Amino acid sequence: MSVPRERYLSPVWRDGIFTSKVLFCTGGAGSICSMQVRAFVALGGNACIIGRNVEKTEKGAADIATVRPGAKVIGIGGIDVRDPKALQAAAERCAKELGSLDFAIAGAAGNFLAPMAQLSPNAFKTVMDIDALGSYNTAKAVLPYLVESAKQHKNTGSTQPTGTGGRMLFISATFHYKGQPLQAHVAAAKAAVDQISHAVAIEYGPYGITSNILTPGPIANTEGMERLSKTDPESSKAEMKKVPLQRYGEVKEIADATVYLFSEAGSYVNGNTLVVDGGQWRTAGASMSHAWQYPDFLLSGAAVEGVKSAKGSKL
């Protein structure tokens, strides 16, 4: 099913900036990662998406390829990111069939809601293995190709006639920034993912490679929202209040952030985390008290009452 371009890409980007480049993406048939890949392909690139479900992955690849005449998108299903040999074989096939491997997204992830009292060691390990070990395995599989791409498309800060290459992106979350109930497993896994990205940035930066973390917030109409949030109108309204911009994000906004980090505009961004969540992670303590509900209390202009005043204190 074709997706209108305005749903996955802003009009600010110049067509052709990724011409002849290749993107390798685990979890590429997912509701967010597929839009990241779609934007890349629309701007001239080709892609290889990886997934466990063969039918979903192959159909996803065929659908993404419709965004641009002549686009080549391979869907390799039946791949478990916990299997390093399978990922290495997939990366090799990608480079062989598409001619190179210039960009990579480690997007495969597992998540569900569970308090620690109901979270078995095996369930915890499964998420750690998919998210953390899977991201590490992905990096190990693609880095040799990214090094070659960085040699051909040098990161000098000056405009290169051949464009950019040698870029790695890890998909994370904000749970470990602020603490989150029911997400002990994912918080631990994503904290590890962040550190893997940092290690790539430090150790492979000298080769011209950039490694960054992209952290989506609550994004409307995605698998994550269906699994982690109640979608009834009242619950959604309450959740949106926790976001300073008072709305959920759009998949286009994650795809735009991806294009930025892969484009010349992001050439000197390395070892960084780009949180695209409308500022939600900054409001962790904003609704700690029922007396001062965020953002209603701020918008009301009322004075803070019922607590000890700071008057007379030496500040």
Catalytic residues: 172, 190
Angle between helix axes 134-152 and 84-98 (nearest 10 degrees) is: 30
Strand partners, 168: 104, 211
Burial 106-135 (b: 16+ CB within 10 A, else e): bbbbbbeebeeeebeeeebebbbbbbbbbb
Q: How far apart are CA 193 and CA 179, in angstroms?
A: 16
Spatial distance between the Cα atoms of 187 and 178, rounded to a whole number of angstroms: 10
> If phi over 0 gives left and psi between -120 and 50 gives alpha, with beta otherwise, what is residue 307?
beta
Question: Six-digit token pair at 212?
Answer: 């960054």
SS3 state at 25: strand
